[in-house]
Structure formats: C-alpha cells, structure tokens
Amino acid sequence: MKENHTNQLVKGALWLSIAGLLSKILSAGYRIPLQNLTGDMGFYIYQQIYPLLGIATMLALYGFPSAISAVTTKELTLDKRLTWNSFFAPIFVTLCMVHFLLAAIIWISAPLLANAVNEPSLMSAYRLTALVFLFIPVVALFRGVLQGMYQMVPTAVSQIGEQLVRVSIIIIAACLVAFSSYSVVWIGKAAVLATFFGSCMAAVILAVFYLKERGKPQLLPQSSENKFTIKPFISTVLILGIVAAMNHMTLLFIQLADAITFVPQLLEFGKGNIEAKELKGVFDRGQPLIQLVTVLGSSIALTLLPAISKEKLKREKSNVYTYVRTAFLTGFYIVIGAGIGLLILLPEINRLLFQNEQGSTELRVLMLSIVFATLAIIGSTVLQGFGYIKRTALFIAITFIIKWIGNLLFIPILGMMGAAVATVCSLFCLFLLIMFEIRRKLPELHISRTIQWKSLFVAVGMLTFYVCIWKLFIPEIWLNSRLLLLIYVIAVSLSGSILYFMFILRMQGFTKRQLQLLPKSTLLLRLAEKRNKR
C-alpha cells in the first residue's frame, strides 16, 4: 500500500509540474497581446489589479490545499473517515472565516488603496476583487482533500482549465477595449471577472473528480455522531496554508510593491500623472520576461527536488547532496545563458513583443534579477523539502519590505531605473538569505565549488560573441517588420542556446552522474561523450 501511494505521489508530482509549467507559460504569454491591444496604459491598469488576484490564486492553488492535504493524509493514516461533521465542515468554516475577513478588509480599504496608487477609478475593481476571495474556500477544500488522497490529477486539470478560462476572458476584454468604446479602465474589472469565472471552472472540474472518489470507504459517513469543532484545524490550516502560499509569492510581492509605490514616487521624480502611469506599463513589460525565464530556469532543476526530504538526508546523504547540487547547477547554467541572451537582444525582443524599444535600458537592468530570482526559487524549494517552510516565508516577507523601501529611496532619484535597481537589490537579498540558510542547514553542500567556472566563462564568451556577430552583420532595415524580427529572434535564440549548452557539455560543465539525473540523460551523455573522463 505504501509503495502504491509513493507511485501515485511521484506520478502526481509530475502532473502538477507539467500543469504548473503550462499555466505559468500561459500566464506570461497572454500579457503580450494584452499590452499590444490596450497599450501601456491598459497594461498598467491590469498590473495594478494583478498582484491581489495573484495572491488569491496562490492561496487557492498552493497555500490552503497544501495544508488541507497534510491534514487529510494524517487523518487517513490514522484510519479515520472524512465525515462532514468532524472534517469537512470545520475546515470549510475555518476557510470561510479567514476569507470573509480578507474580503471585508479589501472591500473597506479599496478607496484607500485606489488613492494610494493615485488611480481612484480602480476603486470598484479593487472592491470586485473581494468577491474572488469568497470563492477560495470551495476550490481549496476540494483540491486539498483530493491531494491528501494522493489524487494530484484533479488539481493539475483544474489548474489548466482555470487558466484557459481566465486567459480567454482577458483577451476578449482586451479586444473589446481595443475595438469598441469600452474604457481602458474596464480591463481591471475584466481581470477580476476572469479570475472569478476561472475559479468557477476549477470548482466544477474538482467537483466532478470528487464525485468519482465519493464512493471510497474513507469518504463514506460513519454511523456514530462526530462532534463539530474547528479548534484542531485552525493552527494547521491557517498557519501552514498562509506560509505555504507565501513561498509561491516572491514575484507577486515584488509586483505588489510596484503597484502601490511606483507611480506616486515617479510623480516625485517629476513625471506627469499620465506619463508616470504609462511608464509603469512600460516597466511591467519585464514581468512576463522574468516569469518565463525563471520558469525555464527552475522547472528542469525542480524535477530533481521531489527526491529530497529530511528522512532521505539521514539515510542517503551523498545522493541527496548530488540531487541538490545538480538542481542548482542546472538552474544556474540555464539562467545565465538566458540572461546573457536577454541582455543583448532586449531592444529587439522589446520591439517584437511590445511594438517599440521604450524602456530597454531599464529593462536590461531589471533582467539581472532573473539570476537571483531563479536561484532563490530553487533554494527555497530545497529548504521546503527539508521542512524549513516558515523560514523561507519570513525571507520573502523581508524581500517585500526591502523592495518597498528601495522604491521609496531610488525612484524619486533615478526614476524608472530606480524601480529596476530596487527589484534587483531585493531579490539579491533574498538569494543571500536563502543561501546563508542552506549553508547553515547543509554545511557540506558547497554549491559554488560545484560550478565549473572555466566551462561557464568560455560558454558565456562564445554566446556573447555569437549573438553580437548576428547583431553586427544583420542590417537594421531587414528587421523593419515584426515577422522578420520574430524569425531573427527565434533563429538567434535557438542557435545561441544550442551553442552555449554544447560548450557547457563538451567542457565538463556537468559530471557524468549529474547528467544521468537530468531529463533526456541519454542524449546529454551522448553529446558530452568527447569530453575527458572525470
């Protein structure tokens, strides 16, 4: 039975990883047509609402389901049945109490928040956001119970269904703004409605899966009466749920700080009201790029980390260390290569995706944060795997404070560049905090010694030279259409990526053991076969 549960867990983790990757790609991808259709002002409006909606999504997708899953697994391990009186009702009431409180706070503070961000027209959209929080208990309860029964597929399917509905509604709303008389401010309300209907779709999908499981013995009602009490669930569900959600909110908190402080501080810098809002939209062009690269850099690395736990660390210390080192090394190599490419090609990418090169200098500085963000995500996942969840949540809260203070200090002096500097500094601090904690908990890990610096420097040098040659010899007049620009960016990116990783592989960037742990290990070993044995 235990082996069967382990197999279910491994397969479920794979499904969740695939769903998470697709969902994040969709989440980053739809912002490009959104900006193209509604302009920088429309993108600004959307990004003012998005952090709150993102927090609601994280609570419903990761936070409370993780906590409920832990409680469910514990109850089933003790051979208890999940009855309405003793299990479902107390948890549901607990979730409702929390989210009714959150919804009330958002509703009451909406005028203050709208005035704080210097956009009074967003008050109704902020109040509408409160409704999304009211729907979280239903989705979180279904997801948590099914995950606790080792059923991960429902969460994966519901996540994709939810995202498809959300993206479709937002794109339709953007088209209405672009091609009809709808005001650009309406995109904020549309974003809230998209999230709400996406949650409804997730609830329907989860309910269908739950009804299929309902006949199982552990969900059948007991003949004896069970007492209703929420006390045993308050600390576990609330504390663990909020902490678990925070560990997925790093970039959301960065965006929340920008949503509240960017425009007011840019006004102090001397920009006009409209210009400041449009510049916020320009600055937010960096968010989908950061999200895509961090997903790319962390996803492959994170496939190695389900194999770690405190118990395994005690039994198989050497193997666990190898998994962790390989995860960091893979993420580091990927994000360095992607970062170099972005820094060089950013004006062309900016023009391709967002129709002009405005803000390219500031966005280049902002792209430096992807290295720290990716490694911090991998590091926090390592700490969570070993059970240090509360510590990483604290680090993310500190990062939010640093970003907030950084915006207040740097934007009035440097303008939009100040926000980029504040983001880089805050994520660098998060990276340092997590790495110090890993060093304290795993003193023999020595991640920096794992990196083959010679291989990296040669690969980076060749990549830089290769991309610069393309830029030097391709006349600008050839890139005067988005189609030609698309072909150019794809050709340079793909060929540059292949060149970079070939140098990494051939120059002993990975050991044979590390390559064996990676996806497509047979192909990677064959590509690296000409290197010297280590």
How many domains does the chain fold into? 3
pTM: 0.86
pLDDT value at position 382?
Answer: 83
Q: How far apart are CA 433 and CA 46, in angstroms?
A: 31
- Mean pLDDT, rounded, for 422-432: 95
pLDDT value at position 402?
Answer: 96
Q: Do residue 333 and residue 230 come from a single domain?
A: no
Q: How far apart are CA 467 and CA 340, in angstroms?
A: 9
pLDDT value at position 307?
Answer: 58
Q: Do residue 300 and residue 362 come from a single domain?
A: yes
Cα distances (Å, whole numbers) of residue 199 to 60, 209, 407, 505? 9, 15, 33, 44
Q: Do residue 272 and residue 417 come from a single domain?
A: yes
For residue 10, pLDDT over 60 is answered with no
Pick the residue with more confidence: 310 or 121?
A: 121
pLDDT value at position 182?
Answer: 82
pLDDT value at position 8?
Answer: 56
Mean pLDDT of the chain: 83
Pick the residue with more confidence: 23 or 395?
A: 395
What does the longest C-alpha to C-alpha distance in the chain come to? 80
- Mean pLDDT, rounded, for 434-442: 88
pLDDT value at position 220?
Answer: 47
Local confidence band at 219 (pLDDT 50, 70, 90 cut-offs): low
Q: Do residue 196 and residue 226 come from a single domain?
A: yes
Secondary structure string (H, E, C) spanning 298-310: HHHHHCCHHHCCH
- Mean pLDDT, rounded, for 73-81: 72
Q: How far apart are CA 57 and CA 138, in angstroms?
A: 13
Cα distances (Å, whole numbers) of residue 460 to 185, 348, 503? 44, 20, 9
Q: Do residue 91 and residue 150 come from a single domain?
A: yes
Q: Do residue 102 and residue 172 come from a single domain?
A: yes
Pick the residue with more confidence: 79 or 319?
A: 319
Q: Where among 207, 222, 246 does a domain terminate?
A: 246
For residue 425, pLDDT over 80 is answered with yes
- Mean pLDDT, rounded, for 370-384: 87
Percent of the chain topping pLDDT 70: 88
Q: How far apart are CA 482 and CA 490, in angstroms?
A: 12
Q: Where among 246, 274, 300 does a domain terminate?
A: 246
Q: Do residue 168 and residue 314 come from a single domain?
A: no
For residue 146, pLDDT over 90 is answered with no
Could you read off the pLDDT of 107-131 as tens digits, one per residue? 999 999 888 888 888 899 899 988 8
pLDDT value at position 246?
Answer: 81
Q: How far apart are CA 530 and CA 508, in angstroms?
A: 10
Number of CB atoms found within 10 A of residue 101's CB: 11
Q: How far apart are CA 282 and CA 186, in angstroms?
A: 19
Q: Do residue 224 and residue 338 come from a single domain?
A: no
For residue 86, pLDDT over 80 is answered with no
Question: Which of 10-24, 148-162, 284-298 is predicted with the least confidence, judged by mean pLDDT?
Answer: 10-24
For residue 1, pLDDT over 70 is answered with no
Q: How far apart are CA 456 and CA 329, in angstroms?
A: 11
Q: Where among 391, 414, 447 does a domain terminate?
A: 447
- Mean pLDDT, rounded, for 348-376: 91
Q: Do residue 300 and residue 436 come from a single domain?
A: yes
For residue 92, pLDDT over 80 is answered with yes
Q: Do residue 235 and residue 268 come from a single domain?
A: no
Residue span of the structural domain in which 519 resides: 452-534
- Mean pLDDT, rounded, for 499-504: 90
pLDDT value at position 534?
Answer: 46
Q: Do residue 35 and residue 176 come from a single domain?
A: yes
Which residues are within 8 A (CB) of 169 and not within 5 positions of it... i.e. 6 or more apart? 190, 193, 194, 197, 198
Local confidence band at 223 (pLDDT 50, 70, 90 cut-offs): very low
Q: Do residue 434 and residue 456 come from a single domain?
A: no
